Chain A
Amino acid sequence: MYLSAMKVGDRGRVVSFSAGYKVYRRRLLALGVTPGTEFTVTNVSPLGDPMAIEVRGFILALRADEARVLQVEKL
């Protein structure tokens, strides 16, 4: 499933990356979003789009459609 299917408060785990925009993927990797990493959805923007997840002790904002390079599972 994709990140966009998750709701605020949900816990999840990164399963895999699909081959996508390389720069974007590298940025996520550098910030510690690696396969197996667990996260919690903390906020959704008032306008519905960027989502914030807590991962490795900090909060990261991602756009739902760009985050489709991530396959995630709900815990």
Chain B
Amino acid sequence: MITIALVGNPNCGKTTLQNFLTGSNYQTGNWSGVTVEEQRGSFCYKNSSYQVIDLPGIYSLAAHEDEGALDAKIAREFITKQKIDVIVNVVNANNLQRHLYLTIQLLEMQIPVIVVVNMLDKAQVQGVELDLNKFSQLLHCPVLPMLASPDQTRLQDAIASLVHKSSVQHGSNCFTVVPYVKSIRDAIEQLSIAILPSFKPHAINRQWLTFSLLEGDMLGEIDVDDTTKQVLAQMSAHWREKIVAQEGEDVDILLADARYRLVQNICTACLTKKERVSSYYNVTKYLDHIVLNKWLGLPIFLLVMYVLFVLTIELGGKLQDCITHVSETYLITNLYDFLQQQGCSLFLTVLLTQGLGRGLITTITFMPVLGALFFYMALLEESGYMSRAVFVIDRIMRAFGLPGKAFVPMIIGFSCNVPAVLAARTLEQQRDRILTIMISPFMSCGARLAIYAVFTAAFFPEHGALVVFALYLIGIVAAMLTGLVLRKTFLIGSPDPLVMEFAEYNLPKITNAVRYTVRRMWSFIIRAGRLIVPLCVMLGILQSFSFSGAINDGSVAFPSILSVLGRFITPLFAPLGITSDNWPAVIGLLSGAYAKEVVVGTLNTLYAQLGSIHGAVQSLADNNQYIYGVMYKYFTGKVGAFSYLLFVLLYFPCISTVAVMLRELNLKWVLFSVFWTTLVAYSVAVIFYQAATVMHHIVSSVLWIGGIIMIISIASYCLKLLCQTSQLK
């Protein structure tokens, strides 16, 4: 098996090349232990099989020892530590200088490299011609053009024959034309001799290691004994000092400068520019002028986000209702009847329908929302607007201690927290990702809006909009405060510095967006579904069985484990205004752990049955009014209803959100999120209720508010302590 690694700058067209080379014959997965997606494909050509690995886009091979830019780190480690037969480096003819910087670094590593030049047609439109023969000569490596509609076998043939030729010549063509100053050349020579005995050729690329050591990197990571490490550290430090003394400039600057000088020479020799005002470039400038305009920039951004919102909530949400309805019929009602006819035991039937069936439905119902989201994001990404959106909104996001890119997960959070957590992947730093995921449950999602709707209709018919708006704002404030607490404890530091290239504007291709959407949805079903289904089975058991093992007959009086627990913990909710006979409200909260959508259904059923027990007369026509009436009776007025809504807004993220969090982060962070959101919800609701009713019971109100503030202070202090001890380790 011949291993080909596709390497290049972000958005250089690697994935397109991968698709041309391997067709649909690829698998996606995650790089082990992290959430950066890996894509491998393979093809067979003339009895040899080729494995093609699409590495994350990078600008440089320089090692940064910090945590940042996870995907760049993966690409770098793969290139420097794995056995690769040939690197296919994709460069963009439109922007040759910057792309060639990486090419030079790859060539310096003395692994066979093939350069594939993309966007030649676009460059031609701009009046730029590239002499491919000369280009190949100067780079000392084979060069292929990537055509707009390449013939798959021709491309495979070219690469296969080049792979063969390159592997024959392997090691013979040393690439030593970079014009480094003499002191650097000496340092490289001495260092590479020094590391020769300590490293096996396949453990790590030695040429690359030489450069890294000279720049002062990698010392912490290399796998050698302490004395060798010390010798290498002293030696590289000595050379660095000497170079700085001689040249008056740091090593990293001298290296980059020399490489860019070579790049510039190559470009001058191979590129011929016709003096013609490039139409394409003008389009970019013109569009940027509008999209980034002082007055239009923000409105355009808001409009784009509004469309995202409409697509996910309106379109996705409508489809979601429809799918829930259909799948409930098949997976629960029909399955139930079928299993009963087959003579299954009631226990197994309930387990399969209420557990497995419910879990599958929960997973499936996310499809429309996620599909709409992924599709729209793919279009935005490909159009080139995404980097401009980051540019426009960066300043605001910094108020949250987050980089501009985090606006996507936060805005999506208002439609559904699940894709919000998934969208946090696009952030480069682990710190930014965790912070974004931790605050996303406070973005009030569409499902919670359904609960607000019922309550505003029942309690605040005149000021409904105001109440809902206040709730959204309170959610945002809670998110900001949570961000603040985390930034002072576990996630100290500043957001990733912004060094962002504006992507070129493109007319997005529907086929690409569809392909991307399908791939992401499939990965969601497989990986998030695996967690959502068992969690739902567990909840289903709690809801369907009583402590004595009896099976739920659907009546309100049935003592399911969940409802017994609900009644048991109802007194806990007394400080936020839920009296002990209002236990359905608490069961509603517990059932909301499934999905917040379920709360309304549960409350409807429970209050309807509760009402009829008390002998109220009910006509079908004003069923809703009737339930509102019952609710009004049980909640302690508007104040009680609002404090309940505050709790609903802020508490425990739904089980699906928890499942994706578990997938993206680890158990510790998920537990933190579950406890923290519930603590914040409880505190806010209690403080509101007690403050609003302070006139009725001054002493207990003051005690409660004081107590809650104390608990929060203690919790924050504990976080700080915990953080310090974990840092000491």
Residues of chain B lying within 8 A (CB to CB) of residue A19: 250
Q: Are A57 and B392 touching (Cβ within 8 A)?
A: no
Residues of chain A lying within 8 A (CB to CB) of residue B391: 43, 45, 50, 52, 61
Within 8 A of B (CB), among A28-55: 28-32, 34-36, 42-50, 52
Secondary structure call for the B interface: helix
Q: Are B257 and A50 touching (Cβ within 8 A)?
A: no
Residues of chain B lying within 8 A (CB to CB) of residue A46: 292-295, 297-298, 392
Secondary structure call for the A interface: mixed
Partner of A27, one of B294, B298, B396, B497: B497
Interface membership of B101, Cβ < 8 A? yes
**Also in contact, A66 and B295, with CB within 8 A (given A23-B64, A42-B288):** no
Interface membership of A25, Cβ < 8 A? yes
Interface membership of B68, Cβ < 8 A? yes
Within 8 A of A (CB), among B264-313: 284-285, 288, 292-295, 297-298
Q: Are A45 and B292 touching (Cβ within 8 A)?
A: yes
Q: Are B64 and A34 touching (Cβ within 8 A)?
A: no
Interface membership of B62, Cβ < 8 A? yes
Which stretch, B452-460, B466-474, B498-506, touches the partner chain A?
B498-506
Nearest-CB residue, chain A, relative to B215: A26
Partner of A30, one of B256, B394, B398, B498: B256
Chain A, residues 53-67, CB within 8 Å of chain B (1/0): the string is 000111111110010
Q: Are A23 and B497 touching (Cβ within 8 A)?
A: yes
Q: Are B396 and A30 touching (Cβ within 8 A)?
A: no
Interface membership of B78, Cβ < 8 A? no
Residues of chain B lying within 8 A (CB to CB) of residue A22: 64, 252
Residues of chain A lying within 8 A (CB to CB) of residue B390: 61
Q: Are A31 and B394 touching (Cβ within 8 A)?
A: no
Interface membership of B260, Cβ < 8 A? yes
A66 to B256, CA, bound (A): 20
A50 to B500, CA, bound (A): 10
Residues of chain A lying within 8 A (CB to CB) of residue B398: 49
A10 to B256, CA, bound (A): 25
Within 8 A of A (CB), among B377-393: 387, 390-393
Count of B interface residues, CB-CB < 8 Å: 44
Interface membership of A17, Cβ < 8 A? yes
Residues of chain B lying within 8 A (CB to CB) of residue A45: 292, 297, 391-392, 394-395
Q: How far is the CB of B697 from chain A (nearest CB, A)?
A: 47
Within 8 A of A (CB), among B495-525: 497-502
A19 to B297, CA, bound (A): 34
Q: Are B395 and A48 touching (Cβ within 8 A)?
A: yes
A44 to B64, CA, bound (A): 29
Partner of A49, one of B68, B253, B395: B395
**Also in contact, A66 and B497, with CB within 8 A (given A32-B97, A50-B391, A61-B502):** yes
Residues of chain A lying within 8 A (CB to CB) of residue B59: 27, 30-31
Q: How far is the CB of A23 from chain B (nearest CB, A)?
A: 5
Nearest-CB residue, chain B, relative to A66: B497
Give the most central of B95, B102, B256: most A CB within 10 Å: B256
A26 to B387, CA, bound (A): 21
Chain B, residues 65-80, CB within 8 Å of chain A (1/0): the string is 0101000000000000
Nearest-CB residue, chain B, relative to A48: B395
Interface membership of B663, Cβ < 8 A? no
Interface membership of B98, Cβ < 8 A? yes
Residues of chain A lying within 8 A (CB to CB) of residue B395: 45, 47-50
Residues of chain B lying within 8 A (CB to CB) of residue A23: 64, 66, 68, 497
A42 to B391, CA, bound (A): 13
Residues of chain A lying within 8 A (CB to CB) of residue B501: 31, 58-61
Within 8 A of A (CB), among B202-223: none
Q: Are B498 and A32 touching (Cβ within 8 A)?
A: no
Partner of A34, one of B66, B253, B294, B497: B253
Chain B, residues 391-416, CB within 8 Å of chain A (1/0): the string is 11111101000001000000000000
Interface membership of B605, Cβ < 8 A? no
Q: Are A28 and B499 touching (Cβ within 8 A)?
A: yes
Q: Are A43 and B292 touching (Cβ within 8 A)?
A: yes
Residues of chain A lying within 8 A (CB to CB) of residue B260: 32, 34
Known: A42-B288, A59-B284. 15 other contacts (CB 8 A): A19-B250, A24-B499, A27-B499, A28-B499, A29-B253, A30-B60, A35-B257, A36-B257, A50-B391, A50-B404, A56-B95, A58-B95, A60-B499, A61-B390, A61-B500
Chain A residues with a Cβ under 8 A of chain B: 17, 19, 21-32, 34-36, 42-50, 52, 56-63, 66
A-B contact pairs, 24 of them (CB 8 A): A17-B250, A21-B497, A22-B252, A24-B497, A25-B252, A30-B62, A30-B102, A31-B59, A31-B501, A34-B257, A35-B249, A43-B288, A45-B297, A45-B395, A46-B298, A47-B393, A49-B398, A52-B292, A56-B95, A57-B95, A58-B95, A59-B284, A63-B498, A66-B498
Top 4 A-B residue pairs of the complex, sorted by shortest distance between their CB atoms:
A30-B60, A46-B297, A29-B256, A47-B395
